[in-house]
Structure 1
Amino acid sequence: MGTPDEASADSSASRRRAGRLRLDEDRAILDALFDQSPMGVAVFDTRLRLVRANPALERIHGIPNDQLLGHRIGEFLTGIDTDEIENRLTKVLETGLPVIGTEVRGRTPADPGRDHVWMTSSFALTDPDGNTSGVTDMITDITERHRSREHLTLLDAAATRIGTTLDVRRTAQELADVLVPRVADLATIDLLVGVAEGEEPQPPRAWPVALRLTARGVARPEIAEGLRRLGEVQEFPVSSPHAQALATGHPQLLPVIDADAEWIRNSPDPRTRILLARGTHSMMVVPLRARDTILGVVHLYRSASRPDAFEPDDLVFVQELATRAAVCVDNARRYTGERAATVTLQQSMLPRSVADQSAVEVAHHYRPARAQAGVSGCWFDVIPLSGARVALAVGDIPGTGIEAVACMGQICSAVRTLAQLDLAPDEVLARLDDMVPRLVEREHSTGSAAILEKLIGATCLYAVYDPVSRHCVMASAGHPPPLVLDPDGPVRFAELPSNQPLGQDDPVFEPHDLELAKGSVLALYTRSLLDAVGADPTVEERLRAIVARSPRSPDSLCRAVVGTVTPHLPAEDDLALLIARTRSLDAADVATWDLSCDPAAVAGARAHALRQVHQWGLGDLAFSTELIISELVTNAIRYGTPPIRLRLIRDRMLIIAVSDAGSTSPHIRRAATTDEGGRGLFLVAQCSRRWGTRYHPTGKTIWSEQSLTDVTPAGSVPPGR
């Protein structure tokens, strides 16, 4: 056994050998890190001068390491924010704390035409005494990983930003906004002509093909200025990448645009030439394809402010984005087309014009719901009736879409048919109410009941105005009452009884009768007008003021009301408005006689009528008038119930009306050769333009109309009053 001193010497020697082994091991690890690591490693002294770098860093920088040693990073890298890097390294030197996972973006001489992204981690270097002797930067190129992450982020953003509405142009603009500036300096969405209007896209059959510039995204004002000079529709020759993308369905990538290319020199579209003049250098054309149908193309350009060209990876990403966006564009196109067809169908059922008449002067307006919303089934109608009367109708169908419009057609047709029967308003609504559940029940067996079920809950207001008596009788099936403005009175709502909508198992529709002075105004509207009033309490006050101040011209009043209400309408509501200013017939144009039940009264009735016809200057109608009156009065005396009344009205027609208290309706028939009678109503029909029977609470009226055309001298017929 050795002495203590010998043992101590052996222990010191062992520690020295172990220290040398660790130092050799550390040096081997450090050499391997510098020589073999794929990460760039840079060692800086306390003055931030590069003192050592590995080959991987040389590949990143593109500058030989022996040219970098002894220099600060800002002296040899100009495409990167070196101030930010040196601030970070200084912080590590001062605090001794590492900074991990910092991203740096820029360009180096190794790849000057393309941005790269690096992940850097910085550590302080300390000597055995604990003093900081420098700082190490470890650098990893994560460009591809970063680009993939950006693409995924952009795809996620596109999923929420594209297709927020069912408007084709808005959807196309949302796609352009996603692409600029994150992918390109300029993006244009060019659709085949008609796609934005909802038409079915047709593949090009002739060249050059026309495309409509539907949306654009622009990062540079000078590019936007050039595009403003272009027309909305441009043509592209078959040799152009735009046409090739359309014809083949394959994207076109031009990393560098050749200004001398034939398709540029001979293209009728000046777009590319204008963009080249403003520094664009790289282009992609990607088809918008949805459901195996090409809708248009997406054009993307990069300009001088973004010198890196488009790459195949960019093309793959934009293709995926365009595929997703194309479905949204096509959904919007389909909706636009269906909505246009629905609006066309609806407007074809509404009166486009109303013939001038003696009962009322009318103006009307229909405004569909906004493009993003469905079309509802609101409607209105003006129906001339016998005896110079007129029916005014307005209604609304719950729900939207083609189903609501189909139900509207059912109601409109039924109202027009019932109106020709000269039924009272409450009777018209009662028959409509009876019709609704029968239609739905019938259609259950055919599978189309879902459409007609929208009829249940439909509302309708039906009013009949008589210019002779100046009475207006109206009834409502759950519809709001009309606004009434007397010539010298305040604006008011008609005191219309509140009845149930159609199909609610309540067949009673209580009518309301009001007398209107000549020149009174009736405003019939759909419920959306009340919704607008509810959205802004000041709207009702403005409406009342407009109506009260109006010169009572229906056209001007209609425009004023629509202008006030439209900004406050909900997007899903359309508006139907019908304005009617009442007229009245002068007493000189109406002649009435009460007749006895004695057959001898027929001769007296003829004599009264002939004198009145000649007094009106209608002598050419004397013979036919005498014949019609003879037959109608004779029928009333023979088959009717007293009292009997004869009325002649000079309007745009000569109207003959014979009333009695009976309810028996005469029927026309063709008499046999041997019959002694039965030809009366047949002769009435031959002498009349129209004839018919209407019922009222006190009996019935048989009426006949004779045309004044080519009979009465110009100016002898009173103008509309």
Structure 2
Amino acid sequence: MRDSHSAGSSPPTPLDGAVAAVVDASGTLVSWTAGAARLLGHRGPGGPPLGRRARDLVAVRRSSGGLEPYGGAPGGRVLGLRTRDGGVVDVWVRLVPLASDAGGDGVLVLGLPMETLADWRDGLAIGAAALRQEEWQITLHDRDLRVRRSSPEVARAGRLSDDGDLLCAMARVGVEGSASDVLRQVMATGVSVVDESGLLRGSPPEARGRVYSLTAAPVRDLRGRIDGVFSSLVDVTERFRSADRLDLVYRASRAISRSLVAERIAEELVDFLVPALGDLAAVEFFDGLASGAEPPTRVEGLNADFRRAAVKHAHGPWPDDQVAVGEVLPLVPDRPGFRSLERGDVLVGNGPGDYREFLGSGPGAGRMVPAGTHASMGAALVAGGHVLGYVQVFRTRRPHRFDGQDAKLMKEIVNLAALAIDNARRYTRERRTAAALRSSLRPPVSGSTAAVDTAGFFQAAAGDVGVGGDWFDALPLSSLRTALVVGDVIGHGLPSTTTMARLRTAIHTLADLDLPPDELLTRLDDLVHRMAAESEHPDSVGASCLYADYDPVSRVCRFASAGHPPPAVIDPDGGVRLVDVPPGPFLGVGGMPFELVETELAPGSVIALYSDGLLTADAAGGDASGASEADVTDLLRSACRPGRPLEEAGLDLVAAASPTRRHADDTTVLLARTRAIAPGDVAEWRFPQDLEAVARARRLVGAQLADWHLDELVFTTELVVSELVTNAMRYATGPVGLRLIRDRVLVCEVTDTSNSHPRLRRAVSTDEGGRGLFLVAQVTSRWGSRYSETGKTIWTEQTIPR
């Protein structure tokens, strides 16, 4: 703040605005000054009031009490004098008797307008109040910075020498230069300083650790020249320490809340406590914390149930004679201090034996108190009523003791750490539960059917993301077909894993109905929509899914997608192409159709289904939006080279999503190498709707099985064909189809135009029919039905003897 007076202008003086007049012995006004004339509204020293009685100029006699806040001054009185225009001006007046050589008496009237007098009175009052107060160190310095005036607090602080010099120079915290430099700068520039020099720290031993705030302003003489400086020092130690503690708590909160791994939080905690509070620090955890076990609510001493998790020494390695990281704490008998710790209190010891006294005299106590300890603090990590562990801080080289403010700061930091560690414990428990559930639901890594050889792979997300809801499946369907599924549930953790389990169960059930992929996703979408309606957080329920079924007879693969990345096909010659499957809406959106895409595959082709974690891993910097189709095809071309085992190819793919890439999502990959049924292993016929065709169907089947050297299956197969073809002829309209497929099993299919559902039942002895399907079920290993737009197909499977 710049002073309002420049060096070229004179500041006001006590005589500025003063007026005078002379009244003779008869009370007549005989003379007055030009200032008095102007005060009463006259233009010059002459004028009508001269020669008149001075009493006529007095309008009213004021009492000083009635003129507050102006007031009078000792030795005078306040008069209200009439002005030329009829107004009244208040003037403090003092009468001085005059004596002349001629013997005539008179009176010299001296006056000051009350406004001028009030200005001077207020200025003097402010200065006097500042110099008399006993809280701030107020000092008035001359140009050599010697003390001209000072408040009593300056002397009490021991900052004045016998000859008036100011002792105990102040050094600014965080700013180069001393307080004397600031005062000289104020005198040189005329610019005031209001707490701009920062905080000042006292240098004498008794003032060390005290923090002050400096305000300084230039002081001018009566001619307006700077001839000194005014300074004020205010003790702001507590305010400074409060701000420092608040900053420490804020930094501690940021340091210990960045992880969901308890051991890492412990390391961050000791890194913060040393050197912020002490020279050494250690953190111990309940031994079952790493596995997510429930910590105790009461600790009756230490009984090998707590293990040291992190340590730090400010001046070197951790002492060899102290409990090391990973080591179980020594036995300590139960003491009342444990109850205090469980309540959240901080135990402070400011003597060499205080902490040892708490730990007892057992052989293990010495391994928990470093040599040279003169001050110590200990607190328990308590959250939700459970004791998670302990934190200890020691001072060995610092001379200061721990005080109440240190204990308060320790408590705040430990409470923050306890919440973070408890969150990590709960997260670990949930992650382990989700991982165990996921592991129990995971299908075999590799498998083989008549249609495909498969290999599935899963790579969990790196870091603290949590177990996700990715899954894959390879499901055998009727007539040697195989369904391939990959899905990704929204979110992570146990809720997404349980949602994934429900979806897998639903897909297994729907797949048994032999639904086309688009219709299966439609029904699955209805299920997820109902699940969202039942959830407390419906926006968090949803999933993407890609469903495909492959027929080794026609070599046609059908795809349908619910918001999932497109599948890829690696041809036998190594060429890679992405199948253009419209992604469709996510499961749970409802009301939107899914499109069916068919493509014919050469035998030995590899179908690659994957989750978006593969895109994230392949993208530069871990950003999925940066992964292009070319990136994905290049990755698949490199991994799925012709003739390479699927297991090796899958491992290469998930290696791209290794934790070192810090991907933020699970990676799931399902690879399937296709097979084809040779035309010579398929036989099919069509018969008109005529019961006489049943006998012909039995003969054709018997002859075909003989050609295939499956004579041992002729009787049972003719029985199956006889029952199924007869039912088709009797209850359906139009021609009837019959197909045999030979592979690992013998498949028999009968197709008709009816949509009636075949139902297995047990016929009683009086029933004339109803035993056909029962007999079919007895002589086959599996049977079922599937529907199409033109009718239904009933199929059976029989095991081919080796």
Relative to the length of structure 1, the TM-score reads 0.73
Q: Which residue of 1 aligns with 2:747?
A: 656
Q: CA deviation at 1:487?
A: 1.2
1:175-254 correspondence to structure 2 within 5 Å: 176=270, 179-195=273-289, 198-203=292-297, 207-213=302-308, 218=312, 220=314, 222-223=316-317, 230-232=324-326, 234-239=328-333, 246-247=341-342, 249-254=344-349
- Corresponding residue to 1:258 among 332, 336, 353: 353
Q: Which residue of 1 aligns with 2:116?
A: none
* Residue 583 (structure 1) aligned with residue 670 (structure 2): no
Distance 1:299 1:252 in 2: 9
Q: Does structure 1 conserve the Cα–Cα contact (< 8 Å) formed by 2:346 and 2:378?
A: yes
Q: CA deviation at 1:634?
A: 0.3
Q: Which residue of 1 aligns with 2:611?
A: 526
Which whole-Å deviations, capped at 9, do the CAs of 1:78-107 have from their partners, x for residues lacking one? xx9998467667778988999776644367
Q: CA deviation at 1:284?
A: 0.9
- Corresponding residue to 1:560 among 652, 661, 664: 652
Q: Does structure 2 conserve the Cα–Cα contact (< 8 Å) formed by 1:382 and 1:391?
A: yes
Distance 2:380 2:584 in 1: 57
Q: CA deviation at 1:315?
A: 0.6
Q: Which residue of 1 aligns with 2:407?
A: 315
Q: Does structure 2 conserve the Cα–Cα contact (< 8 Å) formed by 1:418 and 1:428?
A: yes
* Residue 635 (structure 1) aligned with residue 723 (structure 2): yes
Relative to 1, partners in 2 of residues 1:69 and 1:193: Cα closer, same or farther, differing over 3 Å? farther
Q: Which residue of 2 aligns with 1:392?
A: 484
Q: CA deviation at 1:138?
A: 7.6
Letter in 2 for 1:482: P
Unaligned runs of 5+ in 1: 5-10, 12-25, 615-621, 713-721
Distance 2:142 2:236 in 1: 26
Distance 1:540 1:658 in 2: 41
Distance 2:266 2:227 in 1: 58
Relative to 1, partners in 2 of residues 1:535 and 1:600: Cα closer, same or farther, differing over 3 Å? closer
1:147-546 correspondence to structure 2 within 5 Å: 147-155=241-249, 163=257, 168=262, 176=270, 179-195=273-289, 198-203=292-297, 207-213=302-308, 218=312, 220=314, 222-223=316-317, 230-232=324-326, 234-239=328-333, 246-247=341-342, 249-258=344-353, 261=356, 263=359, 266=362, 268=364, 272=368, 276-277=370-371, 281-304=374-397, 306-351=398-443, 353-369=445-461, 372-373=464-465, 377-398=469-490, 403-436=495-528, 439=530, 448-450=534-536, 458-488=543-573, 490-497=575-582, 499-502=584-587, 506=591, 508-530=593-615, 535=624, 537=626, 540-546=629-635
Q: CA deviation at 1:364?
A: 2.3
Distance 2:784 2:636 in 1: 38
Relative to 1, partners in 2 of residues 1:526 and 1:697: Cα closer, same or farther, differing over 3 Å? same
Q: CA deviation at 1:695?
A: 3.9
Other structure's SS at 1:672 match: coil
Letter in 2 for 1:192: F
Q: Does structure 1 conserve the Cα–Cα contact (< 8 Å) formed by 2:349 and 2:376?
A: yes
Distance 1:143 1:220 in 2: 26
Distance 1:453 1:346 in 2: 23
Distance 1:97 1:117 in 2: 24
Q: Does structure 2 conserve the Cα–Cα contact (< 8 Å) formed by 1:392 and 1:463?
A: yes
Distance 2:509 2:194 in 1: 83
| Structure with bigger gyration radius | 2
User: Please, which moves more after superposition, 325-334 or 52-61?
Assistant: 52-61
Letter in 2 for 1:626: V
The answer to which structure has the higher helix fraction is 1
Distance 1:175 1:260 in 2: 21
Letter in 2 for 1:261: R
Which whole-Å deviations, capped at 9, do the CAs of 1:320-350 have from their partners, x for residues lacking one? 3433454444445445544554454455444
Q: Does structure 1 conserve the Cα–Cα contact (< 8 Å) formed by 2:322 and 2:368?
A: no
Distance 2:321 2:480 in 1: 61
Distance 2:538 2:501 in 1: 11
Q: CA deviation at 1:520?
A: 1.2
Letter in 2 for 1:547: L
Relative to 1, partners in 2 of residues 1:434 and 1:567: Cα closer, same or farther, differing over 3 Å? same
Distance 1:504 1:119 in 2: 63
Q: CA deviation at 1:211?
A: 3.6
Relative to 1, partners in 2 of residues 1:70 and 1:409: Cα closer, same or farther, differing over 3 Å? closer
Q: Which residue of 2 aligns with 1:547?
A: 636
* Residue 682 (structure 1) aligned with residue 783 (structure 2): no
Relative to the length of structure 2, the TM-score reads 0.67
Q: Does structure 2 conserve the Cα–Cα contact (< 8 Å) formed by 1:173 and 1:215?
A: yes
Distance 1:84 1:639 in 2: 109
The answer to which structure has the higher strand fraction is 2
Other structure's SS at 1:261 match: helix
Q: CA deviation at 1:488?
A: 1.5
Q: Does structure 2 conserve the Cα–Cα contact (< 8 Å) formed by 1:287 and 1:294?
A: yes
Q: CA deviation at 1:513?
A: 2.2
Which whole-Å deviations, capped at 9, do the CAs of 1:42-66 have from their partners, x for residues lacking one? 99999999999999779867x9978
Distance 2:443 2:657 in 1: 22
Which whole-Å deviations, capped at 9, do the CAs of 1:442-475 have from their partners, x for residues lacking one? x96xxx35466766x6443211123344322222
Q: Does structure 2 conserve the Cα–Cα contact (< 8 Å) formed by 1:595 and 1:643?
A: yes
Which whole-Å deviations, capped at 9, do the CAs of 1:159-204 have from their partners, x for residues lacking one? 6666466665565566555544333344444433444665443335
Distance 2:314 2:416 in 1: 27
Letter in 2 for 1:238: V
User: Please, which moves more after superposition, 556-565 or 84-93?
Assistant: 84-93
Q: Does structure 2 conserve the Cα–Cα contact (< 8 Å) formed by 1:543 and 1:564?
A: no
Letter in 2 for 1:650: D
Letter in 1 for 2:630: E
Q: Does structure 1 conserve the Cα–Cα contact (< 8 Å) formed by 2:285 and 2:307?
A: yes
Letter in 2 for 1:647: L
Greater relative CO (CA pairs within 8 A, separation 6+): 1
Letter in 1 for 2:637: A
Distance 1:320 1:430 in 2: 54
Q: Which residue of 2 aligns with 1:718?
A: none
Other structure's SS at 1:234 match: coil
Compute the RMSD of aligned alpha carbons: 5.3
Q: CA deviation at 1:386?
A: 3.1
Identity %: 33
Q: Which residue of 2 aligns with 1:618?
A: none
Q: Does structure 1 conserve the Cα–Cα contact (< 8 Å) formed by 2:342 and 2:382?
A: no
Q: Which residue of 2 aligns with 1:606?
A: 702
